[in-house]
Structure 1
């Protein structure tokens, strides 16, 4: 058996190619819609992909299984509770499928979602005993996937299901079983306490995973443990889950158009430049979403799903990379690219950028300090008296931001705060971004609370 992991750093998403090279066959687990890397890897190994296994209907990225099945004669496999509307094979709990000499056992593991399953895999050339668990979100490195994404009406039932899944279905497996999860560190589908390692073993998690240890105690302690460190769930998640129920087409992009002024009024303008460059001059109304690995997730947190977009960059290679990120989370309506600074001579927007000591002086003079980090970051430590509104919620809670005084925005390093500043600017405020974020505040030895 050969295994290759594919990891999307921005999403914290892992997918897998699992091959039996002696039989010349392979299967995928939880692929995204960018199919070529999987096909290239299979070709390099000299194997044919015959199956694609889905652990659950995903919230965070667009699944590639239906698109691959439309292109190649493969079987898409789900648990029998997945109410998807594309051709697939449903496996009930404990049912198996053989791919060459690899036997795949379906294990019902509800919790992260009601339909969630995991896949135990045995290499029959060695033994009937399973050696590998593709756990989806049922067990992660250092945590589990969150249970609150489908709304408060299901949350308590899913928490109880996750508790029983760990106690009865997962932690009862042998210590030597290797665990390959779908969600990893950095995913908004889990807690900030999840580890950055990309695989683990049952024995290690049983000893060192706080959630696994809590699952072997009473439910109240487990419930408290899984609620810690959860980020705000990105607003695009329900749109992606609905798309994955239907089955999305493969990613196929024509060259991006170069747009001239005036730009279409119905599109959201996205400026991916660094905060200090954006602050020095930008198109009014543009959102500053820095073009790093987290670009698509941050956009999905603040821009309504399905919105038409214009990327404000003259770097065509960057534009294509960002569009590829956007396609991974279902934002396919990218109208084109344009210069981040208009050629019409119109007045530019600007965001003042200050260092931590200047921010402290402004605060002492009456400015509002606005902390746009996640709750767990804020609770650890924050600037004295800071107003806390995570950037994902800022547009909906903009009325809570005082007017008639300076507003100094900060995050951890100055990137999320620049996005928040651009949201405030679109609402008629004149925000100030703190360069270097709260890290620079602490390095400067300034006072904190928390």
Structure 2
């Protein structure tokens, strides 16, 4: 049995190709199926089955599209309500994929109908646990609403024990979430591989003997998650098609200027350094990188027109990333010189400083804005800082005091997005582009709530 790991760092997830050298199966495939097709071709195997552990909340699946395109069976829990034909799978069901034996195990908790899969081949076992048992933790249990959270948290505890009884301790464990995904909860580790036995000794779902305590702790540690999650499961239940990942023809400069004047969403993918020094007034800064997908998806109002501005390579990568969360076919203005993209359009800029300069230059009458999540703010913040989490900023612009605003977060990324949104709203802003951990070196102390 060979397991090919297909990483999606922007979403913190993994998909898997599992094969015996001739036939294979896919587990929790991402929307951009060309990566999966390439992996199967490189392995020289025919994928005959596509398995979903659950209807995903943090990305659109490529499973339905792959199965239809390649004539594979598409397996999903028989209890999930979907609008397309699939091969329904029930708890305890066994089936073969070439020389591989696959056993479905009901592991509710992350969702009500979540399945894990135990795959066996020549004495080896592998467990594909989706959003059930992760490395160091479990999948979050609040995505279906507050009314289900307590029950699903108890289910997670029971499911982990059920899974441990269905596979050997030496079984390799392959979760879908837990590599930066907001679908994970609790003290997830930074491990890149593990076995079920290792998790039995270190994962709090196994080491906590008190189910009530585990549930209370799990729920207490649940934090905010991206708003785009609300769109994912319903779209997955409809069976997403294969995305169009081509780069569109560049926008005419006059059309770009018209969109800026109309207040449309025009997103600049350049570095926050370049954006702060010079950008088209009305654009928002979402520096392309690992954080891009989650934070743009969190703030962008689905259904609006989206225009990406940046180098062709970044635009091409951004289109792929956004297709994974259902933002289809954005328009683009290709180039990195604002003056050439929309000649004559108003430009803007704002200061970008590190903590040493903040300590020396911050006037007492100015506002310091912390755009981290509440639990981060409560754990330690600058004295007097106003806390408006980034994902709440657009709805709470009026809560930001008048006058000049100095914006910070933990690393500079969220602060750069927030600074651009405040600049877009006509506010006088300073971006603190520095790690908060360096504030102490500048003589600035933090206080707790």
**TM-score normalised by length of structure 1:** 0.92
Task: Output aligned runs, 1:187-198, within 5 Å.
Answer: 187-191=181-185, 193-198=187-192
Contact persistence 1:229–1:376 (CA under 8 A): no
Q: Secondary structure at the match of 2:423?
A: helix
**Counterpart position of 1:245:** 237
Aligned residue pairs total 440
Contact persistence 2:266–2:283 (CA under 8 A): yes
* 1:330 Cα deviation from its structure 2 partner: 1.2
Q: Deviations over 1:50-87 (max 9, x none)?
A: 00000000111110111112211100101122212222
* 1:17 Cα deviation from its structure 2 partner: 0.3
> What is the alpha-carbon distance in structure 1 between the residues aligned to residue 297 and residue 220 of structure 2?
23
**Counterpart position of 1:8:** 8
> What is the alpha-carbon distance in structure 2 between the residues aligned to residue 380 and residue 211 of structure 1?
25
Structure 1 residues 167 and 397, CA gap change in structure 2 (3 angstroms): farther
**Counterpart position of 1:307:** 304
**Counterpart position of 1:205:** 199
Q: Deviations over 1:120-174 (max 9, x none)?
A: 1111x33xxx711100011000111111112212222212221221233446743
Task: Output aligned runs, 1:33-432, within 5 Å.
Answer: 33-123=31-121, 125-126=122-123, 131-170=125-164, 173-191=167-185, 193-214=187-208, 216-219=209-212, 221-227=213-219, 229-262=221-254, 263=256, 265=259, 267-313=264-310, 315-339=311-335, 341-342=338-339, 343-360=342-359, 365-403=364-402, 405-432=403-430
> What is the alpha-carbon distance in structure 1 between the residues aligned to residue 145 and residue 362 of structure 2?
38
* 1:301 Cα deviation from its structure 2 partner: 0.8
> What is the alpha-carbon distance in structure 1 between the residues aligned to residue 284 and residue 366 of structure 2?
23
* 1:193 Cα deviation from its structure 2 partner: 2.9
Structure 1 residues 240 and 161, CA gap change in structure 2 (3 angstroms): same
> What is the alpha-carbon distance in structure 1 between the residues aligned to residue 220 and residue 352 of structure 2?
33
Contact persistence 1:191–1:228 (CA under 8 A): no
Contact persistence 2:137–2:186 (CA under 8 A): no
Q: Deviation above 6 Å: which 4+ runs of structure 1?
A: none
Residue 443, structure 1, aligned to residue 441, structure 2: yes
Larger mean Cα displacement after TM superposition, 154-163 or 114-123? 154-163
Larger mean Cα displacement after TM superposition, 321-330 or 376-385? 376-385
> What is the alpha-carbon distance in structure 2 between the residues aligned to residue 192 and residue 332 of structure 1?
32
Q: CA RMSD in A?
A: 2.0
Structure 1 residues 425 and 230, CA gap change in structure 2 (3 angstroms): farther
Contact persistence 1:326–1:332 (CA under 8 A): yes
Contact persistence 2:246–2:316 (CA under 8 A): no
* 1:373 Cα deviation from its structure 2 partner: 1.8
* 1:339 Cα deviation from its structure 2 partner: 4.5
